[in-house]
Amino acid sequence: MKNSTDTLHHFIFEDRFNNPMPIRGNLVHLNDTYQQVLQHQTLPTVLKYALGELMAASALLSATLKMDGALVLQIQSKGLLKLLVVECSSDLNMRATAKWDETKVSQIEEKIFFDLVKNGQFIITLDPKVGEAYQGVVPIEGESVAEMLQNYMLRSQQIDTSLWLHCDETSASGMLLQKLPDFGGHLGGVAAPVLDYDADAWNRMNHLANTVTNDELQNLPAETLLTRLFGEEDIRLFEPKSTQFHCSCNQNSVASMLRMLGEEELNSILAEFGKIEVNCDFCNKHYLFDAVDTAQLLATEASVNISNAKH
C-alpha cells in the first residue's frame, strides 16, 4: 500500500520485560507538505531533493525536542547554492525555501549535493515561544543531509543520532534513531538494573535499520516497515501526528522586517519606486506598502521605542 499521507510516527524499543529501552525513533512521510513547498518555487532537481531531505530531517528532529516553538535548519553556502532553509514548528507546521544562482541552473544540475555545500555552514536555530532562542553554527561535515546532521548531533550535542532520508519528485521520507543520553548509565542518579541493560542494543538497531531501502522508506506504512526491519524486537508504535505546510508570514511580520532596514533605506526605496513590494520567499504571498503604510510602520516603531523607554 502506498503511504500517501503526511505523518510523523514516534516509536520506542522495549526490552523483554516491556520496559522502554533508551533508544527512540521517528518515521516521517511528507507528500502534500513537500508538494506545497515546491508549488511556490521551481528548483533544480538536486536542490529540490536536498530541500525535501532537510524537511524530513527537520520533522524527525523537531519531534525529539521538548520545546514549544520552531526548529530552523539552514545550509548556507557561497557558491552556486546560497541557502536552503526549513522551518518546522512543534505542531509540525512546515515551510521551506532555497536561494541559488538562477543564472546557472544547468551547472547546478550537474553537481551533487556535496559539491554545492562543501565549504558551507550548517545553522540550527531553536526558537521557543517562551524563553531565549538557541543558535548553533558549524562547518558542514558529511556528504549528505543525513551525514551532516548525524555529525552535528554527535559533535555539538553529544547525542548519537542516525538518520535515513530519501526524497524524489513526489515525496520526502525519513527515519531517525536516537540513543537517549543516559543509555547504559545511571537513570536519575540510580544505577539501571543490570538485567535491563542491553549494551549491544544501539549497534544492533542501527545494523538492522541500515538494511532499509529508499523504496521501503518511501512506500511502506510505518507498522509494516518497522516489522520488516526490526522483526525480532519489541517496538511500541505511537499514534501518528500529521504534518502540514504553513507559512507564518503576515502584514505585521513583514512590517517588522522592513523596520529593520531603517527609515533611510525605506524612504530611498519609496523615492525610487513609489512603493515597497515584498514577496514572501516561503509562500510567495505579495505584500505592498505605499508611502502612507510606510510612514505608519515607522511611526509604530517610534511608539514602541517610547513605550520601551518607559520601562
Binding site for Zn ion (CB under 5 A): 247, 249, 280, 282-283, 285
Min dist. Cβ of residue 247 to Zn ion (A): 3
Min dist. Cβ of residue 249 to Zn ion (A): 3
Min dist. Cβ of residue 253 to Zn ion (A): 8
Edge-to-edge strand list for the sheet holding 134-139: 134-139, 121-128, 69-76, 81-89, 93-100, 244-245
Q: What stretches of 31-170 adopt beta strand conformation (E)?
A: 69-76, 81-89, 93-100, 121-128, 134-139, 161-167
Min dist. Cβ of residue 280 to Zn ion (A): 3
Cβ neighbours of residue 84 closer than 8 Å, sequence gap 6 or more: 47, 50, 51, 54, 74, 75, 96, 97, 98
Min dist. Cβ of residue 278 to Zn ion (A): 10
Q: Which is nearer to Zn ion, 57 or 283 (CB)?
A: 283
Of 212, 218, 62, residue with least CA distance to 126: 62
71 neighbors 97 (Cβ within 8 angstroms): no
Of 47, 12, 53, residue with least CA distance to 218: 53
Q: Which is nearer to Zn ion, 242 or 279 (CB)?
A: 279
Cα–Cα distance between 72 and 50 in angstroms, integer? 15
Of 130, 31, 38, 122, residue with least CA distance to 81: 122
Q: Which is nearer to Zn ion, 70 or 217 (CB)?
A: 70
Q: Which is nearer to Zn ion, 266 or 280 (CB)?
A: 280
* Eight-class DSSP state of 90: T
Min dist. Cβ of residue 273 to Zn ion (A): 21
Q: Which is nearer to Zn ion, 157 or 251 (CB)?
A: 251
Supply 198's cell numbers.
Answer: 542491553
100 neighbors 216 (Cβ within 8 angstroms): no
Q: Which is nearer to Zn ion, 249 or 266 (CB)?
A: 249
* Eight-class DSSP state of 240: P
Min dist. Cβ of residue 97 to Zn ion (A): 9
Q: Are strands 20-30 and 69-76 parallel, antiparallel or unpaired?
A: unpaired
Min dist. Cβ of residue 144 to Zn ion (A): 28
Of 173, 148, 178, residue with least CA distance to 162: 178
Q: Which is nearer to Zn ion, 228 or 246 (CB)?
A: 246
What is the amino acid identity at position 116?
Answer: L
Q: Which is nearer to Zn ion, 55 or 148 (CB)?
A: 55
